[in-house]
Structures are given as structure tokens and as C-alpha cells.
């Protein structure tokens, strides 16, 4: 007995082959695009953290210049919250600036509330002629 393919069964066979190719192509696409999307997301978060850290460094460096010019005299020994005058501080994530003075040493640091938002920035200076 010979089984002959009719036109209808040939069409069904082609559709099945096409469907199999489409499933394989979609799985390859999903397996490559989804991890790529997550890597772009991670890179974006990393770039944002670097931006926050660079911005905090600029602010801390500028404020440290003001402190070294003589502003440090208006603070007693110990740790104090430090009011920042820079307008760009509004671009930083929530955090705080802390000034620590110990006789001839001043330390200014920015401490973000969340560690993955740039990390802390610290500048420390020894003062000549401080008592």
C-alpha cells in the first residue's frame, strides 16, 4: 500500500516546519536579547552612581576650599552637619554632609542614604597654624 500525500497534507507539513523555525528563532532571540537588556540596565545604574560620586566630589572639594580659607574657625571640635551652598546639591540623591574638626584636622564627607548611590566622598586636610 502506497500512501500518497495530498495537497492538504503538504500544506500542513510546510506550516509545521515554518512554526518550528519560528519557535527556534524566537527562543534564540529571547535568550540573547533579555540578558543584553539587563546588562544595559546595570550599566545605566553604574553610570548614574559615577555621576553622583563625581558631583559629590566637586561639591566637597569646593566646600573644602572655603573651609581652608578660614571658614573652619566657625566650627568647634567634633562632628557637625555641614550646610552646603552649592546649587548642584539638588542633583544628588538623599544624603548628608558632615564636617569633623579635630584641633588641626578638618574632614568633610558626603554620606548618601543608600550605598549604591555613589558611595561616600571624603576629604581631609591638616591645617597649618590651627589650635
How distant, in Å, are the alpha carbons of 23, 25, 27, 38, 40 from that of 32? 14, 11, 9, 11, 13
Phi, psi (deg, nearest 5) at residue 105: -130, 130
Assign 5 a pLDDT band (cuts: 50, 70, 90).
low
How far from chain centre, in Å, is Cα 75? 33
Report pLDDT digits (tens) over 37-95: 889 999 999 999 999 999 999 999 999 999 999 888 899 999 999 999 889 999 999 99
The pTM assigned to this predicted structure is: 0.73
Amino acid at each position: 500500500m502506497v500512501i500518497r500525500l495530498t495537497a492538504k497534507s503538504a500544506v500542513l507539513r510546510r506550516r509545521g516546519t515554518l512554526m518550528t523555525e519560528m519557535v527556534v528563532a524566537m527562543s534564540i532571540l529571547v535568550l540573547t536579547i533579555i540578558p543584553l537588556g539587563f546588562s544595559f540596565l546595570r550599566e545605566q545604574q553604574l553610570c548614574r552612581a559615577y555621576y553622583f560620586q563625581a558631583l559629590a566630589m566637586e561639591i566637597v572639594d569646593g566646600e573644602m576650599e572655603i573651609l581652608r580659607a578660614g571658614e573652619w574657625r566657625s566650627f568647634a571640635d567634633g562632628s557637625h552637619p555641614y550646610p552646603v551652598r552649592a546649587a548642584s546639591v539638588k542633583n544628588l540623591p538623599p544624603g548628608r554632609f558632615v564636617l569633623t574638626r579635630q584641633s588641626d584636622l578638618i574632614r568633610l564627607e558626603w554620606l548618601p542614604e543608600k550605598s549604591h548611590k555613589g558611595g561616600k566622598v571624603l576629604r581631609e586636610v591638616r591645617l597649618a597654624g590651627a589650635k
